[in-house]
Amino acid sequence: MPLLSVRVAGLELEHPVMNASGVLGSSPEALERLARAGASALVTKSFTREPRAGYTTPIAVPLPHGLLNAVGLSNPGLEGLRGLVQAARGLGKPVIVSIAGSTPREFAELAAAAEEAGAAAVELNLSCPHARGRGLELGMDPATVGEIVEAVASTVRVPVLAKLGLVDRLVEAAGRALGAGARGLVLINTLRAMAIDVYAMRPVLGNRVGGLSGPAIHPVAVRAVYEVYREHGCDIVGVGGVEDWRTAAELILAGARAVQVGTAIVTRGEHVIGEIVEGLKGYLAEVGAKTIEELVGAAHRH
């Protein structure tokens, strides 16, 4: 049987498929569902230092080729982070805690709390497209990315993953993150987008602007992973429109060592994780690969 086990950013994974932050990552029960579905790691929703209520509804709207959402980073804050991670540790999977701060110090504080609670790694949300003063606003500036990653990497011992979105200087920002101590990158986040109700004549989301995910952004994610891997040859977790084994394989061939699934879990259920894993097994056998490692970045060699 072809081997799907992979090592990414210092984490040993039984296969390359996990959930994306914000999808079934907000409660012990939800993380247990992911573990039962076979996710190789459990990624929490993004936690901030103070509790956040999030935006007014509607916060998510299905579109023909994806999902538009603006949740607003709703979460219970630091205390909720500790409780969730401690509860999830018993599920037998590495727990990756997503954190979102507004300053390097705040990111470092959140990362320290996650590590103390038992996180296997932290994922720095430097790419949320609709949280004012956080996320994409920070990730747009490579220097700021470097400062935040350095603050976190010098504070914790667990692997640090920087989640970057689609910005003009993505390859440069990726280099700054890696140079500052990130063990790997997560590419990409949702894209800033909007939908308007033509009868109400106003934006459909409560926050007006949200993030577009799903199949519509997949080619963008493939391009981002390909270009960053070509320049840096680093450990990458690819995310964006992973719907089946084929879309997962595209990101792996572009340079990703693992993938995250988001919208497909929302629209089809967490069982899609197992379907993707089985599909990747068949694909490896079809192309004559003995391990998934052989295919990482293979598109750069052909």
Could you give the residue numbers annotated as active site? 128
Is 102 labelled a binding residue?
no
Is 27 labelled a binding residue?
no
Phi, psi of 160 (to 5 degrees): -110, 125
Is 45 labelled a binding residue?
yes
- Residues in Cβ contact with 302 at an 8 Å cutoff, skipping those fewer than 6 apart: none
- Residues in Cβ contact with 228 at an 8 Å cutoff, skipping those fewer than 6 apart: 170, 171, 174, 185, 187, 234, 236, 255
Residue 21, Ramachandran bin (φ over 0: left; ψ between -120 and 50: alpha; else beta) = beta
Is 207 labelled a binding residue?
no
How far CA 239 is from CA of 144, 173, 222, 274, in Å, comes to: 23, 17, 9, 17
Alpha-carbon dihedral sign for residues 80, 190, 257, 242: positive
Is 69 labelled a binding residue?
yes
Is 70 labelled a binding residue?
yes
Is 161 labelled a binding residue?
no
Is 189 labelled a binding residue?
yes
Nearest to 96 by CA among 202, 218, 186: 186
Burial class (CB in 10 A: 0-12, 13-18, 19+), 245: buried
How far CA 55 is from CA of 71, 160, 211, 265, in Å, comes to: 6, 28, 13, 22
Distance CA 137, CA 248 (A): 28
- Tell me 129's DSSP state: T
Is 187 labelled a binding residue?
no
Is 222 labelled a binding residue?
no
Is 19 labelled a binding residue?
no
Is 262 labelled a binding residue?
yes
Distance CA 172, CA 137 (A): 16
Is 241 labelled a binding residue?
yes
- Residues at the annotated binding site for substrate? 45, 69-73, 125, 189-190
